[in-house]
Amino acid sequence: MNYIFVTGTDTGVGKTVISLILMDYFLKKNKKPIYLKLIQTGCDDVFHKDSDAYFVYKNLLLDVDRRFLADKVCYLFKNPKAPYFAARDENKEIDIEYLQNWVIERSKGYDKIVLEGAGGLMVPIWKNFFIIDFIKLIKAKVILVARPSLGTINHTLLSIEALKNKNIPVMAIILSMKQQEDKTLIEQNIEAIYNYSKIKVFLIEKIEDPLRDLEKYFDVMEQIQG
C-alpha cells in the first residue's frame, strides 16, 4: 500500500493542514486518495470543531455526512491527552492489531492513503508502543511537520534520528507557519535541518482560507512526490 504518514515534532504543528494540502494535490492529479485519522483525542464527536477529519473533508467536499466521516476515524476520545491515557480515562484500550486491520480495510480501492496519528512520534498508543512503532508496522513513508520557530532544529533533528534508527523513509520535512516569524531565523533553521538530514525541507506559510490558498502549494507537493 502507498501509505503516507503525516507526523510531527510535537502536537499542534500543522499536521492536519499538510494532510489537507496532500489530499487536494492528489485529487487535482486525478488520483483516488483517502485521509484516515487513526486516533482523535480532545473530541467527543467527529463533527467537533477540533476534529481533524472534519477539517480535512469539509474543505474538500461539498457535503460530509456523519456515516462517511465516522468511517475515517478509528478511535475517538474526549480528553486532549496522549492516546494511551485518553483511552484509559474512558476505561478503554487501543488494540494495535485492530488499528492496523482498520487501516488496511479502509485503504482498499484507493491509490494514495494519507494517514495522520496524534501528536509526535513518541506519543504512546499503548504502554510501550508509540506512534513511530505503528508507522514502522504498516511500512509507511513519512512527511515530518515542524514549527519554523526557535527550537525547531533540536526537535526536528531528534525526530529524524528516531526515524532513521527504525529505518523509516522520510519523504520531506515541512515547516508549517502559523504566524509571522523572523525570515533569517527560518532560513537558518532550514539550512541546519537540511545540512544534517539531507532531506528536502519546505516552508508552508499560514493558510488563511484553505479553499483559496491550497493551490499555492501544488508545486511543493510536486517536488515532494517527485
Angle value at C-alpha 134, between 35 and 224, nearest 5 degrees: 50
Confidence of residue 167 (pLDDT cuts 50, 70, 90): very high
The DSSP line for 99-121 is HHHHHHHHHTT-SEEEEEEEEET
Q: Is 142 helix (H, G, I), strand (E, B) or coil?
A: strand
| DSSP strand pairing (124-126 vs 129-130) | antiparallel
Confidence of residue 215 (pLDDT cuts 50, 70, 90): confident
Tell me what pLDDT residue 207 has. 73
Confidence of residue 4 (pLDDT cuts 50, 70, 90): very high
Mean pLDDT within 163-191: 92
* Percent of the chain clearing pLDDT 70 (strictly above): 98
pTM recorded for the entire structure: 0.95
Mean pLDDT within 51-69: 93
What's the CA gap between 207 and 201, in Å, rounded? 18
What's the CA gap between 145 and 17, in Å, rounded? 10
Q: Are 161 and 197 in contact (CB under 8 A)?
A: no
Q: What is the pLDDT of residues 81-118, one digit of tens each?
A: 999 999 999 999 999 999 999 999 999 999 999 999 99
- Burial of 5-22, coded b for 16+ CB within 10 Å and e otherwise, reads bbbbbbeebbbbbbbbbb
Whether the CA torsion 39, 56, 223, 199 is positive or negative: it is: negative
Residues 6+ apart with CB under 8 A from 59: 20, 24, 210, 211, 214
Mean pLDDT within 33-55: 96
List domains and CATH numbers for the chain: 3-225 (3.40.50.300)
Residues marked active site are found at 37
Confidence of residue 186 (pLDDT cuts 50, 70, 90): very high
